[in-house]
Structure 1
C-alpha cells in the first residue's frame, strides 16, 4: 500500500500560507504525511526572499495538527550538532504526540551554489563529502542511542564526541529514520540505519539503479532490503495534473511506496483537497 504526503518548501511563502495547507491536509485521510525542507536561505526564486527555519516551523505545525505524520525532508546534518538535533527532534515529537518521522541526510552537495552559500552566511563549516557522510553515520548512531538509552553515555567517534550524553524527555513514539541521499557512501549508511530511504529527485531510472545498489548493501550486512521503504518526491503541476498522476503510477510500478507530492507556491485555496480529488489514485 502506498502512503502519500505533501511537501511545502518554506521559501518564498508566508507562515500563514504553510499553516493553512497543513491544517487542511490534516483533515484529509488520503494524505498521511507532510514535510518541510531544511535550508537557511532560498534555493529557488528570489535569492533574498524569505525562508522559515525548518525545525522551528515544524514544531508550530505539529501543535496545529492532530493526525499527519510530519518531518523535514531531509534535515542537513551539517547544520546542527547531533545531540542538539536529537533534543530538538524529541521535543517536536512530544509536541506532536508521537507523529514525527525523522528525516536526515549528509547535507547539501558542494555543486549546488544556492545551497552552498548558506554555510558561509551562517558561519557554518562546509567539509568534503567523505566527512559529511562519516558524520552522518555517527549522528544516526548517537541520535538513536539518545532516544533509547536510559543512562548517560560517552561517545568517542571520529566526528562526534560526547560525554554524559542523555536525552530527557525521549520521543513519545519511535520516530522512523528517513534517510535521504543517492551516493554509494550514503547508501551504505542508509542500509544500516534507515526505515525509509528517500531518493533526492524524481529521476526514476536513476532511482531504480540506486535502489538496487541499496539492496546489495543491505545484503552485505545481513539486512532484509524489504525492511527499508523506498520514497520519492514528485512535483505537482496545478495546470497538468495528469503528469503527476502518470509519475505516481510509474513510481508505484517501480516499487516506490512512500510518495511525497511537492506543491509549488503560491498555494491555491483548497489545494490539499484538490490533490486528494484530482491527483491521488482512487
Structure 2
C-alpha cells in the first residue's frame, strides 16, 4: 500500500447526516492535497449517531461514485460489515470498484457491529439481515477472506464447502486491476478478530482510544503472527483517530502517540458539517507537523 518506512495519512467521511455533494466536495479537494494519501467511508445502513432517522448513504455504491471522481487517492470502506453482503457478491462489488478506480481500492472488511453496541441489531433487523453471534461472525469472516481472495486470483471455477459459506461453481471475471489482489484491511480489536488478521490481513486497523490498550492489541497480533509463522512486520498497523476542528493540537498529539507506537497508517475522521477547504486545513494544521517530524 504505502512505503512502510514513513507514515501515510488519510481522511474518513462517515456518509451519514450529510449530503452527497458535501462528501464529493471534500474528496475532490483531498485528491489535490498530496499529504492526504487515502480516503474512507464507513459501512452502516442506518445512522449510528445524531438523528437516528437521518440520512445515510450505502457505502459501496457511494465509494464507486467517488472512485470515478478522483484520480490519486487510495480509497475504501473502514470497514465493510461481512454480515451485510454474501462474500462472493462482495468480491464482485469490490472488483468493480477496483476497476472503476484504476486499481486504487484498499479492501476493508470486519465482522460487523459489536453485539454489545446499543444500536447493533437495529440496522440488521430493519433490512432483514441475520445477526449471528460473535463466534459465527468471526468464523464467517475468516471463510469470507479465503473465498474473496480465491475469487480474485483463481482462473477456474471452484466449489467451497465451509462451515459458514457454501459455493458451487464460484468464479470471478473480470479480476481486480491490482495483482495479486487489492490489499486486505481487516478492522477490529477483539482477540478472535486478531487471529483472523494474523492469517489474512495486509493491514490491520483499530479505532483509536487508550494508547496503552492499542499497543497491547498490537503486541497480541505479533504473538498470533508468531504462532502461525508469519512476520508481524508484514502487516501494516493502521489507526483511526477523530479530528477536532476546535482543538487540532489534541489530534496532533494523538498522531504522535500512534506513530510512535508503530502505527504507520493513520485515518483521520472528519466530523460533519465539513468546513470549506477542510482537506487543505487538515494538511496545514494537523499533518504538516507529523510529516515534518517523520522526515526529520
Flag whether TM exceeds 0.5 (same fold). Answer: yes
2:214, 2:96 → 1: CA distance? 33
Contact 1:202–1:232 (CA<8 Å) still a contact in 2?
Answer: no
Specify the alignment match of 2:70 in structure 1: 65
Q: 2:27 aligns with which of 3, 22, 25?
A: 22
Contact 1:8–1:264 (CA<8 Å) still a contact in 2?
Answer: yes
TM-aligned CA deviation for residue 204 of structure 1: 1.6
2:57, 2:120 → 1: CA distance? 15
Gaps in structure 1 of 5+ consecutive residues = none
TM-aligned CA deviation for residue 151 of structure 1: 0.5
Q: 1:99 aligns with which of 99, 104, 111?
A: 104
Specify the alignment match of 1:270 in structure 2: 277
* 1:96-175 matches, cutoff 5 A: 96-173=101-178, 174-175=181-182
TM-aligned CA deviation for residue 236 of structure 1: 0.5
* Counterpart secondary structure, 2:121: helix
Report how many residues are paired: 282
Contact 1:39–1:115 (CA<8 Å) still a contact in 2?
Answer: no
Specify the alignment match of 2:3 in structure 1: none
Gaps in structure 2 of 5+ consecutive residues = 1-5
* 1:250-261 matches, cutoff 5 A: 250-261=257-268
1:212 aligns to 2:219 (yes or no): yes
TM-aligned CA deviation for residue 203 of structure 1: 2.6
1:86, 1:32 → 2: CA distance? 24
TM-score by length of 1: 0.99
| Coordinate RMSD, CA, aligned | 0.7
Specify the alignment match of 2:10 in structure 1: 5
TM-aligned CA deviation for residue 183 of structure 1: 1.0
TM-aligned CA deviation for residue 113 of structure 1: 2.0
Deviations 1:6-56 (A, max 9, x none): 000000000000000000000111100000000000000000000000000
Contact 2:98–2:177 (CA<8 Å) still a contact in 1?
Answer: yes
TM-score by length of 2: 0.94
Q: 1:183 aligns with which of 175, 181, 190?
A: 190
TM-aligned CA deviation for residue 238 of structure 1: 0.5
2:144, 2:205 → 1: CA distance? 18
1:53 aligns to 2:65 (yes or no): no
* Counterpart secondary structure, 1:114: coil
1:227 aligns to 2:237 (yes or no): no
Contact 1:82–1:142 (CA<8 Å) still a contact in 2?
Answer: yes
2:212, 2:244 → 1: CA distance? 21
Once superposed, which parts of structure 1, at least 4 consecutive aligned residues long, lie more than 4 Å away? none
